[in-house]
């Protein structure tokens, strides 16, 4: 059985785990119970967790990330140890503005006078941004770049692309703040993210962990959702529609299974 001593984690909020206690890094909105932390525990491995909520694929490869609170994070790839045994990557959703679009739509419908919209509205001048062939291709190219950069930085590492847990399905409507039309548009983005991961894995040869398929039946509105609902308190609204601890645990268990196979 292979032995893994050092895990590096790259990615955005669906990897970082906002809203899951305890917090590892408040500025990064990163949890100590995200899937990377749980995986490292399972493997008895050291973890270098570089995930930051809000990150795009460019923030992984070559663009410093500036948070709304004024913190700056260097490109995540800079922190990957060259002797890492495993590198996990979850990114691309912010390239297609998935989480932001959900949060923007939720606030518009629940509290259109909220100060949250003063931050969100400029990002969505035309409403929910529907994925196009061009934006999907750009997100795919970004994830390919991130994967290739991880391989270059840690040549001996297994690179695992972990796609997004299912947030919404066709029956989620009553459990969400979205209109029927908004739900339809958000599902288009969610499906596009799955296409981005599949294409990037195919182009790079990286291993693909399909959290999206694993979580079928666990979207919002299901008896046991693996993602958080809309949080209307400003202090934790950024965690809305993101994985909960159970969802993160399922991903960690699947990663362990794949790595030990």
Give me the pLDDT at residue 166, please: 98
SS3 category, 178 = coil
**Residue 32 burial (10 A CB sphere; 0-12, 13-18, 19+):** middle
pLDDT per residue rounded down to tens, the chain (261 residues): 689 999 999 999 999 999 999 999 999 999 999 999 999 999 999 999 999 999 999 999 999 999 888 899 999 999 999 999 999 999 999 999 999 999 999 999 999 999 999 999 999 999 999 999 999 999 999 999 999 999 999 999 999 999 999 999 999 999 999 999 999 999 999 999 999 999 999 999 999 999 999 999 999 999 999 999 999 999 999 999 999 999 999 999 999 999 998
β strands within the chain, DSSP E: 6-11, 23-25, 30-31, 46-49, 65-66, 72-73, 86-90, 158-162, 207-209
Q: Residue 2: what pLDDT?
A: 80
Please give the DSSP secondary-structure letter assigned to residue 242.
S
Q: What is the rounded distance in angstroms from the CA atom of residue 199 to the CA atom of residue 183? A: 24
Do 120 and 104 touch, CB atoms closer than 8 A?
yes
Q: How many residues does the chain have?
A: 261
Say which residue the tokens 């299974």 belong to: 257
The pLDDT of residue 235 is 94
Dihedral, CA atoms, 27, 33, 36, 38, nearest 10 degrees? 160
Helices 245-260 and 35-43, axial angle in degrees (round to 10): 40
Return the pLDDT at 175. Answer: 97
pLDDT at residue 1, rounded to an integer: 62
**Domains delineated in the chain:** 6-260 (3.40.50.1110)
By the 10 Å C-beta count (0-12 exposed, 13-18 middle, 19+ buried), 196 is classed as buried
DSSP state of 46: E
């Amino acid at each position: 059985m292979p032995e893994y001593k050092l895990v590096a984690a790259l990615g955005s909020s669906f990897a970082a785990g906002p809203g899951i206690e305890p917090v590892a890094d408040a500025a990064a909105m990163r949890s100590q119970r995200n899937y990377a932390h749980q995986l490292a525990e399972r493997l008895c491995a050291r973890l270098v967790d570089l995930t930051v909520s809000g990150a795009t694929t460019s923030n992984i490869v070559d663009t410093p990330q500036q948070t709304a609170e004024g913190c700056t994070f260097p490109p995540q790839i800079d922190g990957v140890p060259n002797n890492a045994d495993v590198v996990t990557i979850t990114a691309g959703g912010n390239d297609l503005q998935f989480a932001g679009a959900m949060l923007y739509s939720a606030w518009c419908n629940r509290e259109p006078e909220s100060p949250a919209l003063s931050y969100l509205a400029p990002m969505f001048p035309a409403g929910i941004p529907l994925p196009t062939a061009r934006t999907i291709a750009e997100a795919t190219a970004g994830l390919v770049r991130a994967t290739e950069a991880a391989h270059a930085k840690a040549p001996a590492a297994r690179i695992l692309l972990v796609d997004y847990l299912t947030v919404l399905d066709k029956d989620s409507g009553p459990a969400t703040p979205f209109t029927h039309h908004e739900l339809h548009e958000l599902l288009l983005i969610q499906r596009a993210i799955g296409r981005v991961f599949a294409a990037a894995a195919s182009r790079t040869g990286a291993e693909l962990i399909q959290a999206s398929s694993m979580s079928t039946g666990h979207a919002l509105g299901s008896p046991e959702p693996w993602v958080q609902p809309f949080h209307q308190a400003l202090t934790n609204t950024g965690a809305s529609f993101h994985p909960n601890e159970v969802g993160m645990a399922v991903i960690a268990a699947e990663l362990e299974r794949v790595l030990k196979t």
